[in-house]
């Protein structure tokens, strides 16, 4: 019963096979190989336009390098207070951005509402004394497992662009969001106003593979040098490309994400039937629920793995007792129905 993170799952068998296949003979290094060219062309097909693509091994690298490229070092990045870049990247965006500032915004379910963004943009700032926002970073799906609808993305991006901000999307779980929305990758990104996407594969079955995707290739000028200087240009680049080549072939990435989402839906339904309603809508592959202390102890004794979560983000109408625990349960492409049933039966018995 492992619901700690989608990062704790292994590698999807097709992707591992692709890496083995790439391990034949010799190939040019640093992204000059044919497999990398094929992946770049495939990503352009997926997003239905010419793009500039830079593969990196981690989501933190993808986010930090992308944001650093979009913002001057004296700029500010508007982001949710619970976003990965604000909480879980050890200052990497600020480091690679040579001192840029993250400006954290509140929002229910880890989403930035248009009204919140409007207020942040309307704040008086005195140049050259104040940090002026230069980037809006949105997470899709969010850290609360919620998903921005297309009209929400359009509204936020339009507002950001009107104030001269670029729009970055942290898409570590982009596939999960996309299958929930039921739209094309183009609809959910550049057609909605996204300028640069951190396109994740690691959480959905790759070993270590993310892509920084610029929807205006001209905007990517100098990104190759930035990636190299940042230490994220792999010499044996074909093994990054092999992962994405398999990930995108025959829409495997969407099938893997759909499995994870379906597992989250089943888990949420079984917990709700036992009287434990999810705190936020289950829109991707994360379920947040308040467990009783007794249920938490019994689950852990049975070998269940998951993480407690801060109650600071709980909606005001959610009551939590002194012995209760807010937990995050994450499903993956590898989550089995048996895991869900065992977990739910233990909870139901408490």
Distance from the Cα of residue 72 to its chain's centroid: 23
DSSP 104-139: EE--GGG---HHHHHHHHHS---TTTSPEEEEEEEE
Q: What is the pLDDT of residue 313?
A: 78
**Contact present, 290 and 324 (Cβ < 8 Å):** yes
Q: Of all residues in the chain, what percent carry a pLDDT higher than 90?
A: 93
Name beta bridge partners: 213. Answer: 53, 197
Q: What is the pLDDT of residue 170?
A: 98
Q: Which two tokens stand for residue 74?
A: 């004296």
Helix (H) or strand (E) holding 289: strand 286-291
pLDDT under 50: residue ranges of the chain: none
Q: Using DSSP bridges, classify how beta strands 196-200 and 286-291 pair: parallel, antiparallel or unpaired.
A: unpaired
pLDDT in tens, 137-152: 999 999 999 999 999 9
Q: Of all residues in the chain, what percent carry a pLDDT higher than 70?
A: 100
CA 107/CA 212 separation, integer angstroms:
26
Q: What is the pLDDT of residue 125?
A: 83
Q: What is the pLDDT of residue 164?
A: 97
């Amino acid at each position: 019963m492992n619901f700690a993170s989608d990062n704790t799952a292994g590698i999807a068998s097709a992707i591992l096979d692709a890496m083995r296949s790439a391990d034949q003979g010799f190939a040019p290094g640093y992204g000059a190989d044919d497999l990398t060219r094929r992946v770049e062309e495939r990503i352009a097909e997926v997003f239905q336009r010419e793009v500039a693509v830079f593969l990196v091994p981690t989501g933190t690298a993808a986010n930090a390098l992308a944001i650093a490229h979009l913002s001057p070092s004296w700029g500010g990045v508007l982001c949710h207070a619970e976003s990965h870049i604000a909480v879980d990247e050890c200052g990497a965006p600020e480091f690679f951005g040579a001192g840029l500032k993250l400006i954290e915004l509140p929002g229910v379910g880890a989403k930035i509402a248009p009204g919140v963004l409007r207020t942040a943009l309307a704040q008086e700032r005195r140049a050259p004394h104040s940090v002026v926002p230069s980037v809006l970073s949105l997470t899709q799906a969010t850290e609360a497992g919620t998903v921005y609808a297309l009209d929400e993305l359009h509204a936020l991006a339009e507002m950001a662009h009107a104030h001269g901000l670029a729009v970055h999307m942290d898409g570590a779980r982009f596939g999960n969001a996309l299958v929930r929305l039921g739209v094309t990758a183009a609809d959910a990104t550049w057609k909605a106003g996204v300028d640069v996407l951190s396109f994740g594969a690691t959480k959905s079955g790759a070993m270590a593979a993310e892509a920084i995707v610029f929807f205006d290739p001209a905007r990517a000028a100098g990104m190759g040098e930035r990636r190299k200087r940042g230490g994220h240009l792999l010499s044996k680049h074909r093994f990054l490309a092999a992962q994405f080549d398999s990930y995108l072939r025959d829409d495997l990435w969407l099938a893997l994400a759909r499995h994870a989402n379906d597992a989250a839906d089943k888990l949420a339904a079984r917990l709700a039937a036992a009287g434990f309603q999810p705190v936020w809508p289950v829109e991707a592959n994360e379920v947040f629920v308040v467990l009783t202390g007794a249920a938490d102890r019994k689950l852990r004794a049975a070998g269940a793995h998951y993480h407690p979560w801060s109650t600071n983000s709980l909606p005001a109408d959610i009551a939590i007792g002194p012995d209760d625990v807010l937990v995050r349960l994450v499903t993956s492409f590898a989550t089995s129905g048996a895991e869900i049933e065992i977990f739910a039966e233990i909870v139901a018995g408490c």
